[in-house]
Structure 1
Amino acid sequence: MAFAVHEVEQHVAAAGWDGPVRVFALVATGRALAAEPALAHQLPPAVVALARQDPHHLTSVEQEGLPAADDLEGMLGGLSWPGTVDGAAVVVERVVLPPAAEESMPADPASALDYLMGHPDRQDVRLAVGVLRSGESWCAVRTRAHDDDASVAGAADLVPGLVEAVAATLR
């Protein structure tokens, strides 16, 4: 699972920063190859070889033409997956502040946005969160300040709210 989420994050990172929310279906590669043998000719040979060695290898399939939504929660709330999909991953960019700076944020939304965007301690982050139907999850976080593959942090519960929101799309 961790490998699939890091792979998705690296794929999105290749397009640079300031991108849209991106959503991926996660499918067991071996099962997909068994159901559709011609798929072996569309995947890189290394992926096919990995899938034959590792029954848990996942292939990500980016979803295009997502339903229009006003926010991330609305978009995720409109998603559902067929049983052939083993999991889902979402990649989104956000601006974060240290907790002490958040305490001083104005209540007015327009003022809060100005405060957030102008704060010297703000960090631009890219969050990649994947969840399997089994409940297994993984999160990968990249900061713009340390924008290289070796500096991507990862753990199962780095972004618990987003993990739960992605998990809800699989129910």
Structure 2
Amino acid sequence: MGVPPIDTTPSSADTPGPGPLLRAAVDTEQHVARGGWDQPPRLFALVRTGLLRDREPALAEQLTAPEDDGFTAVEQERLPPTTDLESLLGRIAWPEDVEGVALAIERIVVPPEAERDLPTDRQEATDTLMAHPARKDVRLLAACLRDGTRTCLLRQRDHDSDDAVAVGEDLAPGLTHALAMTLVDDAR
């Protein structure tokens, strides 16, 4: 996938660098990647590092974000297993201190023609797609903030290295939209 490495180092005043959401997303994606493949979905609350330092002084040494205005990802453990991710996300609400959310999820990608003439049985269709010779395993990490800022990172199993992760706002627009809805207070 030949994409350049993601530079998350602080920039000089002349050169704008990645924003706090991208830095948090990259850190979170690399954290998830260290766990290998075939993981269940993993959900993270994004909280201002300074707020976390103030409220949880015992965690201060563990926080890797250098600046207090950046975000720290806090994994939400015990995510219930589901076959309907949209439904699960539709039931999630966050307290005000959570300024953003990130979700890592693995998917298979096949060429559009592979989806034609699939069996009607869900399990048979899944088995057919899993056996497709052009199948690609990918992991998406979608992240968004309450202010509408969004980003998505994509890692392929075939090119599994930190310098081959694609980044873009619209890599998974449905997923980032569903995540953003968990942050909207009046959506409930």
Matched-pair contact (CA < 8 Å) for 2:152–2:171: yes
Q: TM-score, normalised by structure 2?
A: 0.80
Which residue does 1:51 correspond to in 2? 67
- Percent of pairs with identical residues: 49
Taking a change above 3 Å as real, the CA distance of residues 19 and 155 of structure 1, as seen in their structure-2 partners, is: same
* Structure 1 residue 133: Cα displacement: 0.2
Coordinate RMSD, CA, aligned: 1.8
In the alignment, structure 2 segments of 5+ residues that lack a partner are 1-20
Which residue does 1:125 correspond to in 2? 138
**Matched AA of 1:74:** S
Correspondence 1:19-168 to 2 at 5 A? 19-44=39-64, 47=65, 50-52=66-68, 55=69, 57-67=70-80, 69-168=82-181
* Structure 1 residue 113: Cα displacement: 1.5
Deviations 1:145-164 (A, max 9, x none): 11111111011111000001
SS in 1 for 2:98: coil
Taking a change above 3 Å as real, the CA distance of residues 105 and 160 of structure 1, as seen in their structure-2 partners, is: same
* Structure 1 residue 51: Cα displacement: 1.0
Q: TM-score, normalised by structure 1?
A: 0.87
Q: Distance in 2 between matches of 1:37 and 1:110?
A: 48
Paired residues, what number?
Answer: 164
Which residue does 2:25 correspond to in 1? 5
Matched-pair contact (CA < 8 Å) for 1:26–1:88: yes
In the alignment, structure 1 segments of 5+ residues that lack a partner are none
